[in-house]
Amino acid sequence: MALNANALRWVPVFERLRQEVGTDDAPLSSYLYDLEALRCHAGSLTAALPPGFELFYAIKANSDEPILKTLAPLTHGFEVSSGGELAWVRSHFADTPIIFSGPGKTNTELTQALDLGVEALHVESRHELERLAWLARERGVTAPVLLRVNLAIEGLQATTLMMGGKPTPFGIAGDQLPDCLAWLRAHPEITLRGFHFHLMSHQLDAATHLRLLGAYLDQVRRWRHDYDLSTLDQVNVGGGIGVNYREPERQFDWPTFAAGLTELSTQRDGLTVRFECGRYVTAFCGYYAMEVIDVKHAFDRTFVVARGGTHQFRTPYAQGHSHPFRVLPVDHWPHSYPRPEVRGTRVSVVGQLCTPKDLLAYDAPVEHVRAGDLVVFPYAGAYAWHISHHDFLRHPHPRHIYLPAESPASSLD
């Protein structure tokens, strides 16, 4: 089973953890984050970008402080999508550039963004523009804005999660843009800095994503010309780079993508192009480990019942996949009763919830798994703990362990 080679660094950590808590009464579930792997990965993403392209991190994927501390010097800034995320970032990072996006912003959140001096606000509707203009006027400030546009793009290839290109609540539908641009001309308290697109998540193909970006840039150039827009300095092309949970050996090819961006650079028209990626930045650094409580058979299937579940690691259920995992054998078995085990078969890995939906992996081949072993799920650093319904059944929360980066992160120049 494919598992990031860095996972082997975790084996001694797991072993120590098990010694600490691995009694019959307290089987283990734990999140482990490899900050050194995160540092290397994020550093390589930004290093590959050609001039004129910037990578912001969408903190909704994982906003833990050690994760953000690792990423702050390696990325160009953070994208936040709520007042809570905004306050969290500002309380820990006084100077990191912030962009504020997301649907359904309240007046309180818009005010907070103006007061905390965000780099840009991504506005989702004409009504949000009106409210922002009113708040900016009251404060005597100018609001830096990107209009998020929901655009129907010819030949757009759908992924498993589409945010636009079809009717969705996100952004301003393309046909309403002329009206918004006319309104903006009469409202100097808002500066139109650019346009924002985030039409999809889970993009796995670099060439397809480059074509999509090319279409965005062409569209912006046409708007700039047709509406004589003189204040633009950027295009935000969203996040959406996917992680291939189903075929982990075939991940999005960032080096090829970055090389393609160099060719795309002529279409930038002098504008800075910003990414706000979440999943692809942090998924690879995280692991979710569960201790096996039972191994049992029902009809023609074998179930590995492990400590924790989808209330702690919702990613497989949210994405509808069988999550890859690896069994870490734990030889220590202090009990006098027999140890349930299976060899050379296919299993479903389930958690402790009273629902058949608590399924993390299915039809997955294992060589050998026993009660007391650990099953470890990689690619658990993004949209994992942070999207899970933690207190369902009130099980104890998993431990969160951060393996520190080995050397201090180097700053971006």
Catalytic sites, residue numbers: 354
Residues 10-49: x where in contact with ligand PLP by CB under 6 A, - otherwise, as a string: ----------------------------------------
Question: Does an H or E element contain 143, and which?
Answer: strand 143-150
159 binds ligand PLP per the rule CB under 6 A = no
Asked if 124 touches ligand PLP (CB under 6 A), the answer is: no
How long, in residues, is the chain? 413
Closest distance to ligand PLP from the beta carbon of 198 (Å): 4
How many whole angstroms separate alpha carbon 324 and alpha carbon 331? Answer: 22
Quote the tokens at residue 384: 């994992």
Which one among 58, 151, 213, 306 touches ligand PLP, defined by CB under 6 A? Answer: 58
27-58 burial, b at 16+ Cβ within 10 Å, e below that, comes to: bbbbbbbbbbbbbbbbbebbebbeeebbbbbb
| Closest to ligand PLP by CB, 17 or 241 | 241
171 belongs to the binding site for ligand PLP (CB under 6 A): no
201 is a contact residue toward ligand PLP (CB under 6 A) = yes
| In the complex, minimum distance from the CB of residue 281 to ligand PLP, in angstroms, rounded to a whole number | 8
Look-up of token digits 């792997």: 37
C-beta of residue 274 within 8 angstroms of C-beta of residue 235: yes
The token duo for 22 is: 């691995």
What is the DSSP code string of 390-404? TTGGGPPPPEEEEEP
Residues in 92-121 at the binding interface with ligand PLP, rule: CB under 6 A: 101
* 14-22, 174-182, 270-278, 390-398 -> range binding ligand PLP (CB under 6 A): 270-278
Q: CB nearer to ligand PLP: give 170 or 287.
A: 170
Min dist CB 56 to ligand PLP, Å, is: 9
The percent helix, strand, coil of the chain (3-state, each to 5) is: 35, 25, 40
The stretch among 134-142, 225-233, 238-246, 264-272 that binds ligand PLP (CB under 6 A) is 238-246
Q: Considering the complex, what minimum distance in angstroms separates the CB of residue 310 from ligand PLP?
A: 19
Q: What element of type H or E holds 277? A: strand 272-277
Among 278, 308, 316, 378, binds ligand PLP (CB under 6 A): 278
- The 10 Å Cβ neighbour count of residue 309 is 27
Is residue 243 part of the contact set for ligand PLP (CB under 6 A)? no
